[in-house]
Amino acid sequence: MTFKGINRRALIKGAAAGAAVGAAMTAEQLAGFAQAWAQAAPFKPEAGAAVQLLRWKRFVQSEEDSFNAIVASFEKATGVKVTVINESLDDVQPKASVAANTNQGPDIFWGLYSLPHLFPDKCSDVTDVADYLGKKYGGWVPTAETYGKSGGKWIAIPVAYNGNLINFRQSMIEKAGFKEVPKDTAGFLELMKALKAKSVAGGFALGRASGDGNAWVHWALWAHGGNLVDKDDKVTISSPETEKALNYAKELSDTFVPGTAAWNDAFNNKAFLASEISLTNNGVSIYAAAKAGAAKGDAKLKEIMDDMSHSLWPVGPVGKPTEFHIAYPMMVMKYSKVPNASKAFISYLMEAEQFNKWLIDSVAYLTHPLNAYDANAVWKTDPKLSMAGDVAKRTLTAGGLGSVGEKAASALADFLIMDMFATVCTGRATPKEAMQVAERQAKRIYR
């Protein structure tokens, strides 16, 4: 069967090369693909199935619009109703934990980092989905396997990553005497000092910000050789390396604009777009917002879009990158009465005909976990976005040197590292005091 020149067999059985972006498919062609996929896909929804999916609230409007279009096309092709619930980024984990404990709630949770590892026994085995997609699209990046697997089986599908990068205003760093963001931590500190003294100060979240807060404090810890645990999951947080990281972060935070102790994941976006800060860490959603505003004729946002850019995180004394980017795993809960329909939706979402467009529409806010999507056009069309394309391969994982399992997930969910840094940066504790508290907490988790 052929739909407007699209061969059904080629669509369903195509090799990884099919993920490369060519000419955009028309709406009619996409509808034809969806129908063909529904007939031949390996995951057959239960009769009368309806799926409820909980996701984090969008940071890029065009990403959400594109995702909702995928939902609508899946519904039309399969007859499966998909209800999408939107929650704030920081509310996903507690709601997923409640659902896991009570065995009731949404069928699919779309969470952050190692969330599925908080309750691996409550997640459905999705190895068949991972194998299907991995074989078709060039294999998974190693960190996706780390986040997706537990006990030799896949308990979640990391459908995307969010690259957490240094966002900066070129004119403002030049006013401070720099042409680019330094590539080492010592130079980066000097830039931050100069921004405060000569230009517009920067700032990073010191509140319990699941994405931006966790990203920068873990980077700082690992950049100086500190680690929560060693490779055997033995607690090692109290160390000279951690103390150096905390002292560095304190110096860095002394350059921040006021109020960062209360920042969550939305505050730095607003401050940057209001030109109240010169530099922060974030996904590329700030740039996406400026770009969208510029397209609508907003002169102020066009000025920001033209003036801003992105940089990778500086390398610290350890001599290698220590970036911490967000993984976005989707997990099907074991209590779900529609596991096949849920698997079908996840696999449909990641087929090239949907996934390529979704990456483009997210303006590179989302990054791919499957190697074939290296070929996506979004990484080549805008030099300010290109560096986000490799974040799934560059990132360290939530366990650091240790394993990504329930214990590492618990430490992250409890903001153990975030709180340790925040208490030092805000002057509520010395580095030694903060390390002692973190060590006690860690030993309870890793006992």
Q: Please check whether residues 293 and 371 belong to one and the same domain.
A: no
- 227: domain range? 165-324+414-445
Please report whether residue 209 resides in a domain: yes
Please report whether residue 109 resides in a domain: yes
Greater confidence (202 vs 6) lies with 202
Is the predicted pLDDT of residue 125 greater than 80, yes or no?
yes
pTM: 0.90
Please report whether residue 127 resides in a domain: yes
Q: Please check whether residues 312 and 271 belong to one and the same domain.
A: yes
The span from the CA of 279 to the CA of 311, in Å, is 10
Q: Please check whether residues 309 and 191 belong to one and the same domain.
A: yes
Residue 282: strand, helix, or coil = strand
- Structure token pair of residue 236: 């090692």
Residue 414: what pLDDT?
A: 94
Is the predicted pLDDT of residue 17 greater than 50, yes or no?
no
CATH number at residue 209: 3.40.190.10
- Structure token pair of residue 27: 């709406």
Q: Please check whether residues 220 and 320 belong to one and the same domain.
A: yes
The span from the CA of 129 to the CA of 340, in Å, is 10
Helix, strand, coil abundance in the chain, percent, nearest 5: 50, 15, 35
Please report whether residue 402 resides in a domain: no
Residues 6+ apart with CB under 8 A from 63: 358, 361, 362, 363, 365, 366
Residue 26: what pLDDT?
A: 64
Please report whether residue 149 resides in a domain: yes
Q: Please check whether residues 174 and 158 belong to one and the same domain.
A: no
Residue 15: what pLDDT?
A: 37
Please report whether residue 25 resides in a domain: no
The span from the CA of 363 to the CA of 284, in Å, is 8
The span from the CA of 192 to the CA of 127, in Å, is 46
Quote the radius of gyration of the chain (alpha carbons, Å): 22
Nearest in space to 218 (alpha carbons), one of 229, 230, 226: 226
Q: For 21-79, how does the pLDDT look when each residue is reduced to its tens digit (9 = 90+)?
A: 333 566 677 778 888 898 888 899 999 999 999 999 888 899 999 999 999 999 999 99
Please report whether residue 8 resides in a domain: no
Residue 89: what pLDDT?
A: 83
Sheet holding 308-311, edge to edge: 279-282, 165-169, 308-311
The span from the CA of 361 to the CA of 367, in Å, is 11
Q: Please check whether residues 54 and 172 belong to one and the same domain.
A: no
Q: How many CA atoms lie within 13 A of 20 on its CB side?
A: 3
Q: For 358-373, how does the pLDDT look when each residue is reduced to its tens digit (9 = 90+)?
A: 999 999 999 999 999 9
Is the predicted pLDDT of residue 2 greater than 50, yes or no?
no
Do residues 345 and 80 touch, judged by C-beta distance below 8 A?
yes
Residue 106: what pLDDT?
A: 98
Q: Please check whether residues 301 and 159 belong to one and the same domain.
A: no
Q: Please check whether residues 179 and 313 belong to one and the same domain.
A: yes
3-state secondary structure string, 92-108? HHHHHHHHHHHCCCCCE
Q: Please check whether residues 59 and 139 belong to one and the same domain.
A: yes
Total domains in the chain come to 2
Whole-number average pLDDT of the chain: 92
Q: How many CA atoms lie within 13 A of 403 on its CB side?
A: 12
Q: Please check whether residues 344 and 245 belong to one and the same domain.
A: no
Residue 68: what pLDDT?
A: 95
Q: Please check whether residues 329 and 315 belong to one and the same domain.
A: no
Residue 38: what pLDDT?
A: 87
Is the predicted pLDDT of residue 18 greater than 70, yes or no?
no
Residue 140: what pLDDT?
A: 98
Please report whether residue 119 resides in a domain: yes
Q: For 408-444, how does the pLDDT look when each residue is reduced to its tens digit (9 = 90+)?
A: 999 999 999 999 999 999 999 999 999 999 999 999 9
Q: For 269-323, how does the pLDDT look when each residue is reduced to its tens digit (9 = 90+)?
A: 999 999 999 999 999 999 999 999 999 999 999 999 999 999 999 999 999 999 9
Q: Please check whether residues 191 and 335 belong to one and the same domain.
A: no
